[in-house]
Chain A
């Protein structure tokens, strides 16, 4: 997706979408695509409780959890595998003018209530973990997207290299 920048030099804004229920993969796909279509996205992070592939504890330790395998969502022509139960979505938008579009996208995609909060959700300063992970000249847009222990390759998806402005974390 090519995002057209507005003529005015508006400041990027960060928002968090907080649905009142956890999203199924189908609703997640619908919502992410609606958000994606509404435009103006610099980066996006989805977050929620982990969906382990195997039982992690107890007498059944190591048994596969088939229900959590192959939870695929397609966003912007790229297929991503969900590894969390989607509970919140954090976005950085190019400017305030894209906010109504996000609100409308949520209203279209979510059959239940949600909150949209404005705030500061991504860090700007590289931490020691970031330095160890990404090196000295890390792209600042990556900061705060991925859990420090997660592998960048599997947790981060770059959806549009063209403008280098679409990133998504799972």
Chain B
């Protein structure tokens, strides 16, 4: 029988979404042109050559190494690209993905990527053409909502702040804006440098849709536990409490 990985337990929609994010079996909601993704990332001009840090691997004459023979290099590594990054901030107001699940997604589904999880933002580093492909996947998929997630290379805060009146996550550098047509536009790249043209990334999800797609447990949607809006503990929470109990007791009495 073929093995099916079991990524995350639980019967709630949050549990199901977490499984989807980890497995990479994601719904594609929009199609942002590759050139636009590259422009928002801001590492190279769209259409420009990829700068490299070393010659292509084929020309380098690699040492005789069983691991190198076993592992096929990613396109970026094979071409000798620079390592570049994309970083996203997700609002705690029902953003579809959150830093840990972005990292799980990257670690499980992206080859040659180095995900970094922080409290309100998440960075992925990889070779340039690889990170561009991964970022496009992220921006096109249900892991991103254009009003509650945004690409922010610096001055990232917004995750735990209240939303703006129009439902957008607050951005100190005003990188994104809500257009009169209801679409969200990137007017600056991820580090706040103005773009040559506004980039339309589509319409934001409705509040109901966000609550359906989110991977965040919240008392006003699907609670994790506790007293407010409590639900019956599912397997994940039982397991967590079990781990916590054993760890705490072990910590106090190591015998």
Contacts and interface: CB of A to CB of B under 8 A. Distances in A.
Interface of A: 19-24, 27, 49-52, 55-60, 63, 65, 67-68, 85, 87, 111-112
Contacts of B42: 59
Contact of A87 (B154, B162, B172): B162
B193 A67 contact: no
Given A59-B193, A60-B193, A65 B173 contact: yes
A49 B157 CA distance: 10
Q: Which 4 A-B pairs have the closest CB atoms?
A: A58-B154, A67-B174, A60-B192, A60-B193
B163 interface: yes
24 contacts: A19-B162, A21-B162, A21-B164, A21-B165, A22-B162, A24-B165, A27-B165, A49-B157, A51-B172, A55-B192, A55-B193, A56-B155, A58-B154, A58-B155, A58-B191, A60-B154, A60-B188, A65-B173, A68-B174, A85-B164, A85-B170, A87-B161, A87-B162, A111-B165
Contacts, number: 62
Contacts of A60: 154, 173, 188, 191-193
B173 A22 contact: no
Looking at A19, A20, A67, the one whose CB has the most chain B CB atoms below 10 A away is A67
Contacts of B163: 21-22
B154 A57 contact: yes
B162 A57 contact: no
Given A57-B154, A58-B155, A63-B194, A52 B164 contact: no
Interface in B183-213: 188, 191-194
A85 to B, nearest CB: 6
The B interface is mostly helix, strand or loop, or mixed, namely loop
A49 B170 contact: yes
B185 to A, nearest CB: 12
B153 interface: yes
Contacts of A65: 173-174, 192
A27 B164 CA distance: 11
Contacts of A111: 165
Contacts of A20: 162
B146 to A, nearest CB: 18
Contacts of B164: 21-22, 24, 85
Nearest to A19: B162
Contacts of A68: 174
B96 to A, nearest CB: 20
A51 B162 CA distance: 15
Looking at B42, B165, B170, B194, the one whose CB has the most chain A CB atoms below 10 A away is B165
Nearest to A85: B170
Contacts of B191: 55, 58-60
